[in-house]
Every structure is written in C-alpha cells, then in structure tokens.
Structure 1
C-alpha cells in the first residue's frame, strides 16, 4: 500500500491549539492507528531551537534558530498508509476539517505527499 507523509503548516507563535482540537485529534488518530492507517506522527516545537545546514555552492553552513524571516512552520507530521491516493486525499480533508471546526481563527495548511519507494528520479 502507498505510504504518505502529512504535514500541518501554520504561522509560528500563534499560541496553543484549543483542548477541543487535541481531544478530536486523539480520537481521529486513535481510530486510524487501530486500522493500521496512522503509522507514526507528532507535533513539533517551534524554531527557537532549530538547526539548519545550508548547502550553497559546495559549502555547508550551520544556521541556528530562531529565524526572524520564518512566518510559516511545520507544526506537526504523520506517516500514513492508505490503499489508494484517493483514500489518502479524502482522509486528509477530514483531518483539515478538524482544524476548521476546532481552531477556526487560525490559518492551517494541511499537506499530504506520497512517499517515494525507490529510485524513480530521472537518470542524468
């Protein structure tokens, strides 16, 4: 079955999500974990302790957070497995709808990407 990675992106420092969203997420994730759909995932701390390595023109530079230019951050991630892309997309919409219902005052971008299973990049 195809695997997917889900991301939740949002503005940094917008505060803690409401308890009702946490409760709804616990139920949502629990149901999918029991079905073998949700394989792993979690929330992420802010960028204040983040470390980036930037590769530019063959040079590697370490850049530590916080990042003044950072407006949108990944706040959570998940690894999921669905029978089809259509099933994954439909369920990702359900996940986004939880945020719309329980935290409507913020903008959240819920992204789903299929995980590559091999060297399917074009040859040089």
Structure 2
C-alpha cells in the first residue's frame, strides 16, 4: 500500500499566538485516534515556530545558513503526517477531515504527496 506525506502549511502571521485551542486539540486527538484505529496513520507531529528554525541553502556553489524567523515566508510548514492509504483519494479525504476541524480564523493548507518507494 502506498505511503503519503502530508505537509501542513500554516500562515504564522494569522495563527493564534497561543496555538490551537483546547477544543481544537481535543478534536485533533479524536481524529488521530480514529486514523490510528483504521491502520492508516504511521507518524505525525507538529513543528515549533519558524522563528526557532534554520534554513541551509546551497546555491551558486555556496552554502548559506539563515536562522528564523523567515520574513519572506507567508506560509510555513507547521506539521506533517505520514500515512499508509489504499490510494491518494483516501489520503486526501483524511486530510480534508483534519483541516475541517480548525476554527474559521485559521489559514491552513495541506500538501499531500505520495512517497516514492525504492
């Protein structure tokens, strides 16, 4: 069965400073339990804010290292999951359910990509 990486992109400028509300955390926990019981979820985690991250870039034969925050970035990767689904449609459906849990003030996008095997 194929595996899928889902990257959760968050607009840090419009995300609540305190993070997800307790109610949202509860809803996410219940969905995570359901996905795990279904045998789909392999791994998932949220990430610390980009202000605590570092970018390493190779360009033009030179290496550069830049500590966050990254002013030019509107959206940053706020979390990820790795799931094993029968097809991409199933992976997208689980992702849609996850996004729909969020309150209206969130701006969140998910990118679902199949992991190349071999």
Q: TM-score, normalised by structure 1?
A: 0.85
- Deviating beyond 6 angstroms after TM superposition, the runs of 4 or more aligned structure 1 residues are none
Q: How does 1:43-122 map to 2 (within 5 A)?
A: 43-99=46-102, 103-118=103-118
Are 1:10 and 2:13 counterparts? Answer: no
Q: Secondary structure at the match of 1:45?
A: coil
Structure 1 equivalent of residue 28 of structure 2:
25
Q: How far off its partner does 1:48 sit?
A: 1.4
Alignment TM-score, normalising by the size of structure 2: 0.89
Residue 121 of structure 1 is matched in structure 2 by none
Gaps of 5+ in 1: 119-124
- Deviation of 1:107 after TM superposition, in Å, equals 1.3
The structure number with the bigger radius of gyration is 1
Q: Identify which range, 9-18 or 52-61, moves more after superposition.
A: 9-18
Give the root-mean-square deviation of aligned CA atoms.
Answer: 1.3
